[in-house]
Each structure stands twice: as C-alpha cells, then as structure tokens.
Structure 1
Amino acid sequence: MSELPRDLPVWERRAVRLVVRDRAGLVLLFHTRDPDHPRLGTWWELPGGGMDPGETFARTALRELREETGFVVTAAQLGPPSWRRRASFVHRQSRHVQDEVVLTVRLDADAPDVDGTDRLDYEVEDYVGFRWWPVPEIVAGRERFYPGRLPELLPSFLAGEEIDEPFELWS
C-alpha cells in the first residue's frame, strides 16, 4: 500500500459496493460530492457503504441498497463478491481506509426511480442526483468515478472475472 497522507484521522472499515443493474442492463450511479471538501468537485459512484458489526457482505448489500435507493431485493438477486479492493479517500472529517467487495444486483424493472427516504443525513447532503448508465458510456466516460478504475474494470467484472484490485488512493 502506498503511503497514506497524514491529513485527517484514519477510520478503517469493511465495506460493500454494488453494481446495480436494471432489467435492460443499465447501471445505477450516484452523482456525489463532499461538502467538506469542495476541491474534490463531483463524481459518480457505486451505491454501498460500511459493514455493521456481525453483518455479512450480503446483509450489508441488502441494507445499503434499501437505505440509499429504497429498492428491496432478495439475496438471490445478488451476485458473488468477486471484486475485492482496498481504497482510501477523504470523507467529511476523516480519512477512510476501506477493504471493499463489489457485487452485482439485478432488478426486475427498467430504470426505477430512487427513493432516498431512508438515507443517512450525510447521504442526503452528499448525493446530488443519480443516473442509469449504459455500460459502454461508463467504459468510455470522461467523468470521475468511484471506484476510480470502474470504467476499466467493469466489463471484466460483469463477465464474471475475479478481480483483486491493488490499493487505490482515491482522494
């Protein structure tokens, strides 16, 4: 792992990210910002979040999806956690260091609307929008994404490849 900046208190955790696909194969991304760090601008990120004590990857995925989108799915709609990564980024007043897994979720609807009623307070402030993206537009995208290598790794991940991504110092 590369040297972490000594800019903020470090918070280590395990997390789950979700590649949410609708019936047509579009991918849900949140348009995001961090009000405490306006220099970061905005970016597009996969839904997901930290694991609570005792949670499995699947339980975290189901909880985070419901909280952030309002979508209620079953564990049978989740793919395996076949993309593993370690990343660091600043968020609010701490530096997160996360061991993440990424898994897929397949919805039985076309580009459903997102319901953010159950979001945490900071998520309400951070998420400024969402969009259902065709995979080729993510791959060719010139936008900023989290994970940073999403455009590069998404096709392999969706093809079922196991991915062990090296450490990413995202911000």
Structure 2
Amino acid sequence: MIELPRDLPVVERTAVRLVVRDRAGLILLFHTRDPEHPRLGTWWELPGGGMDPGETYAETALRELREETGFLVGAAQLGPPSWRRRASFIHRRLRHVQDEVVMTVRLDAAVPDVDGADRLDYEVEDYFGFRWWPVAEIVSSRERFYPGRLPELLTPFLAGEEIDEPFELWS
C-alpha cells in the first residue's frame, strides 16, 4: 500500500464515475481544474461523484449525471459497475480517499449539450469545459486524465472486462 501524504485532512467516501457514451460512441469528459491548487494544472475527467447515504451505485450514477450534465436517463441505460478502483487526490482543502466504481451510460442522442444548472458551487468553478471524445483519441492522448489510467483501461472496460485497478495516488 502506498503511504498517503500527510498534507491535508482526509475524507473517505465511496464514489461512482461514469463513462457517458452518446449514440455514436463518443465519450463525455469534463475539462477540470482545482482553483485552490493551480500547480495541478488542468485535466480531463469522467463525470461522477460521491454516494449519498443509502444510495445504490445506480442511484448515485443517475443523480450525479443529472446534476453535472442535465441528462435524464433510466437505470436500463446504465452498465454494471465492473471497474473498481481506490484512489486519493487533493481537492480544495481535503485529501480524498475514495473507493470508486466506474459504470457506462448510453445516451440516445448524438453529442447532446451539457446543462450544468444543477451543479454544486465548486463544480461550477472546477469544470470549465467539456468535450465529446472518440475512444481512439482518449487511448492515444498525452493529456492528463482522472482516472489516471483511463487511456489504458478504457478499451478493456468497454469490451466488458472486469477491472480491479490498483490504488492510484493521483495528486
């Protein structure tokens, strides 16, 4: 196990991340930054967030998708939580340690516009753009991503492989 930096108070949580695919198979990623930690630069990340008490993975996925994108979908459009990971990163004034699952969401529309009206205040500050990416561009990109191994693990994940990713100390 990697030792965590003792830089900030630690909060542990369970989270769901989403590989959101449009009708053509393009994948939605948010262009993100942490205004309190400019040294981290910018990166592209999967939508998602922490589970509320009593929620299932599917309920968290549908809520987070609605809050961050405005997309309303049904549980039948979700894939199984077949990518499991544990990660740590700094965000604002906390070090997050989270157990995450990654699920797919298949949309009926092609490149729908994102509506961030229901985002939390910090998400409005952190997310400064979005892009619909072809899978091949993610796989070959030199950009920074969260999860960090997204370019490497996306193709096997989309092919239906079960992924148990080792711990990632992302920041």
Q: Same fold (TM over 0.5)?
A: yes
| Residue 6 in structure 1 maps to residue 13 in structure 2 | no
RMSD of Structure 2 on Structure 1 (CA)? 0.2
| Residue 142 in structure 1 maps to residue 153 in structure 2 | no
- How far apart are residue 71 of structure 1 and its match? 0.1
- How far apart are residue 116 of structure 1 and its match? 0.2
Distance of 1:134 and 1:35 partners within structure 2? 28
Runs (4+) of structure 1 exceeding 4 A deviation are none
Give the alignment of 1:22-41 within 5 angstroms: 22-41=22-41
Per the alignment, in what secondary structure is the counterpart of residue 76 of structure 1?
Answer: helix
Residue deviations 1:45-98 (CA, integer Å, cap 9, x gap): 000000000000000000000000000000000000000000000000000000
Distance of 1:11 and 1:44 partners within structure 2? 23
Residue deviations 1:123-168 (CA, integer Å, cap 9, x gap): 0000010000000000000000000000000000000000000000
Give the alignment of 1:11-160 within 5 angstroms: 11-160=11-160
- How far apart are residue 31 of structure 1 and its match? 0.0
Residue deviations 1:85-114 (CA, integer Å, cap 9, x gap): 000000000000000000000000000000
TM (normalized to structure 1)? 1.00
Aligned length in residues: 171
Identity in percent: 87
Distance of 1:8 and 1:109 partners within structure 2? 41
- How far apart are residue 9 of structure 1 and its match? 0.1
Distance of 1:163 and 1:36 partners within structure 2? 32
